[in-house]
Amino acid sequence: MKKHKGKIQTGIVMGIFSVIIIACLISIFSRMYTENKEKEEFKQLAEIVTEKTTEVTIEETIKKSNLLKVSDSIDEFQTEQPVYYTTYYEPHSISELISMNSECFGWISISGTNINYPVMHTPSNPQKYLNKNFYGEYSYSGTPFLDARCSADSTNLIIYGHHMNNGTMFADLCNYTDYSYFTEHPTVVLETKDGVFAYSVFSVLKVKSDDDWYKFTAVETEKSYEKWISYAKTKSLYNTEITPVYGQQILTLSTCYGYNQDDRILVLAVQN
């Protein structure tokens, strides 16, 4: 009798575990399906608003503070020289995006990565697009959005995006922990109604969600600006040899990093 009861109990336990495993598998596959579906929706949106033309370029000038020109004459002093290179990007119709949703701030992209999305801005509802797609419908992936405290002319534009398991949204930012990835993807392009702007990555930080950098959106003095830049470069994972100067706008891209919900990766870039 006891042996029979033991078999029943074992069967019940195994049944419960089987149900749990099946439920987990359903949840995992459902999430994967949802993420890929949302990926396709953003791809379709990009196709709608991508202007029908070939890739255009932005000529950039970057002055690296410790990069010196080797003179032809040993008698001449070495001087700082700007570095020139070209960034390719696909232009998007920002006016069309805004006509589709007036809460759209612009479009952000990094060539050679999965980062190619609209950017939303809702000052009266800061995290509205944390779990909404471009059309305002519920979305697991959400849509990148500009910090509610920021405006187009803020000293530091802070843009948030999810780190999705399928590599979409801002997941590729985590690759910037590798210096070689930075050298291959040094430029962020932000398109807004005011024009197209190229930003050069100058620092990559691993921080907590309450890091002081999130407090930096505007400054009134050169001294304060330099203090923030020094803070960023000191905490940077590596030296990019690029130092922003007072008057240049900063672009901060933020996403989750690692397994701790409070860990963040910040990719900081300066407008050229």
Domain range enclosing 178:
56-271
Cα–Cα dist 210/212, whole Å: 6
Chain centroid to Cα 93, Å, comes to 20
Bridge partners, residue 104, by sequence:
120
Q: Tell me, yes or no, whether 106 lies in a domain.
A: yes
Cα–Cα dist 155/150, whole Å: 9
Cα–Cα dist 46/63, whole Å: 33
The domain that holds 176 is classified in CATH as: 2.40.260.10
Q: Tell me, yes or no, whether 141 lies in a domain.
A: yes
Per-residue confidence (pLDDT) for residue 38, from 0 to 100: 83
Q: Tell me, yes or no, whether 15 lies in a domain.
A: no
Strands 250-256 and 195-208: unpaired
Cβ contact 139:38 at 8 Å: yes
Q: Tell me, yes or no, whether 50 lies in a domain.
A: no
Q: Tell me, yes or no, whether 253 lies in a domain.
A: yes
Per-residue pLDDT of the chain (272 residues; tens, 9 = 90+): 555 656 666 666 566 655 555 544 444 545 555 777 788 888 899 999 987 765 566 655 444 433 322 333 334 333 445 555 567 788 999 999 999 999 999 999 999 999 999 999 999 999 999 999 999 999 999 999 999 999 999 999 999 999 999 999 999 999 999 999 999 999 999 999 999 999 999 999 999 999 999 999 999 999 999 999 999 999 999 999 999 999 999 999 999 998 899 999 999 999 98
Per-residue confidence (pLDDT) for residue 51, from 0 to 100: 78
Q: Tell me, yes or no, whether 13 lies in a domain.
A: no
Q: Tell me, yes or no, whether 28 lies in a domain.
A: no
Cβ contact 183:154 at 8 Å: no
Structure token digits, residue 262: 């409070």
Residue 30 is inside which H or E element, if any?
Answer: helix 2-49
Q: 147 vs 122, 158, 216, CA distance in Å?
A: 8, 5, 11
Per-residue confidence (pLDDT) for residue 1, from 0 to 100: 57
Chain centroid to Cα 51, Å, comes to 23
Long-range contacts of 103-107 (CB under 8 A, 24+ apart): 103/128, 103/129, 104/134, 105/145, 105/146, 105/152, 105/192, 106/190, 106/191, 106/192, 106/193, 107/49, 107/190, 107/191
Structure token digits, residue 30: 């459902």
Q: Tell me, yes or no, whether 108 lies in a domain.
A: yes
Q: How many domains does the chain have?
A: 1
Bridge partners, residue 50, by sequence:
92
